[in-house]
Amino acid sequence: MDNLGLITPLLRSNTAAIVTNVTVAPLYLERFAAALAAAGVQCVQVVLPDGEAYKNWETLNSVYDRLLEAHCDRQTTIIALGGGVVGDIAGFAAATYQRGVSFIQVPTTLLAQVDASVGGKTGINHPLGKNMIGAFHQPLAVLADTSTLRSLPMRELRAGLAEVIKHSLIRDVVLFEWLEANLEKLLAREDAALVHAVLRCCEIKAEIVAADERETGERALLNFGHTFGHAIENAKGYGVWLHGEAVAAGMALAVDLSRRLGGLTAADAARVVELIARAGLPTAVRGVSPQQFTALMGLDKKAAAGRPRFIVLDRLGAASIRDDVSSGDLNDTLATAA
Amino acid sequence: MDNLGLITPLLRSNTAAIVTNVTVAPLYLERFAAALAAAGVQCVQVVLPDGEAYKNWETLNSVYDRLLEAHCDRQTTIIALGGGVVGDIAGFAAATYQRGVSFIQVPTTLLAQVDASVGGKTGINHPLGKNMIGAFHQPLAVLADTSTLRSLPMRELRAGLAEVIKHSLIRDVVLFEWLEANLEKLLAREDAALVHAVLRCCEIKAEIVAADERETGERALLNFGHTFGHAIENAKGYGVWLHGEAVAAGMALAVDLSRRLGGLTAADAARVVELIARAGLPTAVRGVSPQQFTALMGLDKKAAAGRPRFIVLDRLGAASIRDDVSSGDLNDTLATAA
């Protein structure tokens, strides 16, 4: 964040709008805005309330208000400084302000650094569904400063590790084995380990998204564990489990399903569950019936024309999309969560 | 509109959402929905209030509500049936519903058929500015049925002619001369004449937009008469003058400026003003001072970094963007409106 020469050449004018929230602002806003000012960039500052509950139209509109009041034009670059929610709102504001302005992601959580900030998905929630309103709008750059992870609550660091594990499972067995060997370094926030994990996850995600930006195929692999995870978040009530925690338990279910389908050996399935557990993340969920799961997953927007699709592992480091999962196998997997 | 074989092959599923308004619905909705149903397409119907005053977040949100209540997914195609406001809202809903679904324009006003439905500009107004929130989102198709123009109020037909004249002035002297010879046929709504004008305008606009979708250069030529026109709409109060009427008077000012800059002869300038007058459109505006104009145009979002830009005619059928207009010439032009 002190090396702004990485992003200032990308700005289309000397005006930027930093969008952040009340939690991140006291930690990094002054330092970041001062560094931009020193580089000759005038900054409008927009400080949002913190939390998924505010990822809605009212908050988005407050961003528009500030941009218009400050006479920001089409050359203004919006900079998202914060976690996934800030990035989603700021990115969607950038996608729609005056029909689209540039934006840059400066993620300050592990989840955002390894996942949310890359790939151009932006949006807000609607009372009838999460992320129902949004746009694909790619950032000019993602500036991930791992030093910001020192201020991250431990629970959020662990939640971010769920997406790191996910990236390894769907694409990179070498990363998976590196995680088995180095997980404690990440939990101890050793910078070299964090840099390695963040960089490798960004590479994996960028590669997948570049091949299928609009999620007509391969990009859906990134939803590994998420179909179950969304159902868990929903069943438990949003905000009770962190997204990464629900994804972790969802991955454990997806791993169980993958084993039933013959993609994973029992030994490899156990390795995954052990790694998730070592990260301090849930490997199981209790009290959600198969009926509840089925209903909640049927509402998932990723369900294609009535035929449920699942992302499963073919082996460690390789995933595929399957629409031929038998209800028997599915129910056996779901029964483990009952 | 009875030849839906033109659009049904483009649909990605058998579900579509028709977005229209309370004025257009009684005229065409039942017929259109029945034709789609006969082609095996299930239709969600969304009927909006009529008017620019409703081109806002609340109306847009009512579209999202209906789409979500009806469980429309990413394969749903949104069809805009109506004028420019319906197209702008429906198109922006399509751009942002579940991060983007397909849409088709079925414009029912002359203004929408010759201008608004082509080019992918979508959006809504914000209390602090018109069209400040939006996206570029190209329709799969524009289905212009000139028979719908029979139900159009005469004043709106005339307003649409302003954009027809504009397209001829910036790009096609042959169309301009055709208009001089055939204007009365358009005013009498003779179908062959309407088809010729609509088709030629769509071709011109599509050509310009294809070369510069995001309006970084050439597309700005389509704003000929609009910088003045927006100021007039604003000065008179939105809705008092129709957009096309303000553009007509704005074009008269832009023609006057073009003559002062040496692009048009006095005789050609007079030909343009005469054609605008024959269309029953205003060729002058009174009661707006040069100071008012200057202030209102300074707020225009198209103003680039402080240096005012004007679209002027180099000759009939050719326009260019100029940022070297002297304040003397500008004030002389504006004084004609005082």
Instruction: Output the 3-class SS for chain B.
Output: CCCHHHCHHHCCCCEEEEEEECCCHHHHHHHHHHHHHHCCCEEEEEEECCCHHHCCHHHHHHHHHHHHHCCCCCCCEEEEEECHHHHHHHHHHHHHECCCCCEEEEECCHHHHHHHCCCCEEEEEECCEEEEEEEECCCCEECCCHHHHHHCCHHHHHHHHHHHHHHHHHHCHHHHHHHHHHHHHHHCCCHHHHHHHHHHHHHHHHHHHHHCCCCCCHHHHHHCCHHHHHHHHHHHCECCECHHHHHHHHHHHHHHHHHHCCCCCHHHHHHHHHHHHHCCCCCCCCCCCHHHHHHHHHCCCCCECCECCEEEEEECCEEEEECCCCHHHHHHHHHCCC
Tokens found for residue B144: 């212009």
- Asked if A136 and B100 count as a contact pair (C-beta separation under 8 A), the reply is yes
Q: If we measure between CA atoms, which residue out of B293, B165, B160 comes closest to residue B227?
A: B293
Q: Tell if the CB–CB gap between B96 and A135 is shorter than 8 Å.
A: yes
State the DSSP string of A243-281: HHHHHHHHHHHHHHHHHHTTSS-HHHHHHHHHHHHHTT-
Q: Which two tokens stand for residue A112?
A: 């955002």
Catalytic residue of the set A158, A163, A234, A309: A163
Work out the number of other CB atoms within 10 angstroms of the CB of residue B151: 13
Residues A271 and B86: their CA atoms lie apart, in Å, by 55
Token digits of residue A281: 């993340």
Pairwise CB contact (< 8 Å): B133 & A97: yes
Are A118 and A138 contacting, i.e. CB atoms less than 8 angstroms apart? no
Mean pLDDT score, A209-213: 96
User: Which residue among A13, A68, A129 places its CB closest to the CB of B132?
Assistant: A68
Sketch out chain B's domains with CATH numbers: 4-150 (3.40.50.1970), 153-335 (1.20.1090.10)
Q: How far apart are the first and last CA of chain B?
A: 46
Q: What is the pLDDT of residues A86-115, one digit of tens each?
A: 999 999 999 999 999 999 999 999 999 999
Residue A301 designated active-site: no
A226 annotated active-site: yes
Which pLDDT does position B300 carry in this prediction? 45
A196 annotated active-site:
no
**CA-based nearest residue in chain B for residue A98:** B132
pLDDT tens-digit profile of A288-311? Answer: 888 888 888 874 444 445 567 899
Asked whether the beta carbons of residue A134 and residue B96 sit closer than 8 angstroms, the reply is yes
- The contact set of B with A (CB < 8 A) is 13, 57, 61, 64-65, 68-69, 73-75, 95-100, 121-123, 126, 128-129, 131-136, 214, 301, 303, 305
Catalytic status, residue B137: no
Q: Which of B99, B214, B286, B307 is catalytic?
A: B99
Write b or e for each residue in A92-120: b if 16 or more Cβ atoms lie within 10 A of its Cβ, otherwise e. bbbbbbbbbbbbbbbbbbbbbbbbbbbbb
B106 strand-pairing partners: B81
Q: Do A99 and B301 touch (CB under 8 A)?
A: no
How close is the nearest chain A Cα to the Cα of B133, in Å? 5
Q: How large is the angle between the packed helices B290-298 and B226-236, nearest 10 degrees?
A: 110
Give the number of residues written for chain B.
338
Active site residue B205: yes
CB contact under 8 A, A126 and B64: yes
Print the SS3 string covering A285-311. CCCCCHHHHHHHHHCCCCCECCECCEE
pLDDT of residue A89: 98
Q: Per the CB < 8 Å rule, is B214 touching A100? A: yes
Of A99, A121, A305, the CB nearest to B13: A305
Cα(A85)–Cα(A117) distance, rounded to whole angstroms?
10
Please give the pLDDT value at position B301: 46
Active site residue A243: yes
pLDDT in tens, A267-287: 999 999 999 999 999 999 988
Instruction: Exactly one of A12, A215, A271, A331 is catalytic; name it.
Output: A215
Q: Are residues A98 and B301, on separate chains, in Cβ contact within 8 Å?
A: yes
Mark whether A155 is an active-site residue: no
Q: In this predicted structure, what is the pLDDT of residue A300?
A: 45
- Residues A54-94 have pLDDT tens digits of 999 999 999 999 999 999 999 999 999 999 999 999 999 99
* Residue A163 pLDDT > 90: yes
Q: Which helix (H) or strand (E) covers residue A84, if one does?
A: helix A84-96
Q: Note if A158 is an active site residue.
A: no
Q: Given an 8 Å threshold on Cβ–Cβ distance, is B134 in contact with A69?
A: no
Residue A279 has a pLDDT of 98
Residues with Cβ within 8 Å of residue A178, at least 6 apart in sequence: A168, A196
| Joined tokens for residue B54 | 């409703």
* Active-site hit among B137, B158, B167, B219: B219
How far apart are the C-alpha atoms of B49 and B108, rounded to whole Å?
Answer: 16
In this prediction, residue A287 carries a pLDDT of: 86
Q: What are A's interface residues with B at a Cβ cutoff of 8 A?
A: 13, 57, 61, 64-65, 68-69, 73-75, 95-100, 121-123, 126, 128-129, 131-136, 214, 301, 303, 305
Task: Determine the pLDDT at residue B146.
Answer: 97
Active-site residue A30, yes or no? no
Q: How much is the pLDDT for A301? A: 46
Q: Do B136 and A13 touch (CB under 8 A)?
A: no
Task: Give the pLDDT score at A167.
Answer: 98
Shortest CA gap A297–chain B (Å): 14
Going by the DSSP 8-state scheme, the letter that residue A337 receives in this structure is T
Q: Three-class SS of residue A313?
A: strand
DSSP state for residue A76 in the 8-state scheme: P
Written as one string, the DSSP assignment of A44-68 is: EEEEEPPSGGG-SHHHHHHHHHHHH
Catalytic (active site) residue A121: yes
**Coil, strand or helix: which one is A70?**
coil
A98 and B64: CB-CB below 8 Å?
Answer: no
Token output for A102 = 């540039």
Q: Given the residues A158, A230, A260, A309, select the one marked as catalytic.
A: A230
* Structural contact between residues A268 and A145, judged by C-beta atoms closer than 8 angstroms: no
Of A95, A301, A303, the CB nearest to B135: A95
C-beta atoms of B301 and A97 within 8 A: no
Chain B residues within 8 A of A59 when measuring between CB atoms: none
Q: Which residues in chain A have their CB less than 8 angstroms from residue B303's CB?
A: 73
Which one is catalytic: A55, A166, A171, A243? Answer: A243
Give the nearest chain A residue to B300 (CA atoms). Answer: A73
Cα→Cα distances B318→A57, A245, B172, B208, B311, Å: 43, 61, 7, 12, 10
pTM for this prediction: 0.93
Mean pLDDT by 10 residues, chain B (338 residues): 89 96 97 94 97 95 97 96 98 98 98 97 94 97 97 97 98 98 98 98 97 93 94 85 96 97 96 98 91 76 63 97 90 86
Tell if the CB–CB gap between A61 and B57 is shorter than 8 Å: yes
CA distances (Å), B73 to each of A22, A88, B66, B139, in order?
A: 35, 21, 12, 18
When CB atoms are compared, the residue of B99, B122, B132 closest to A64 is B132
pLDDT at B299: 42
Residue among A66, A121, A167, A259 flagged as catalytic: A121
Query: What is the structure's pLDDT at A305?
Result: 53
Which residue matches tokens 């026109």? B229
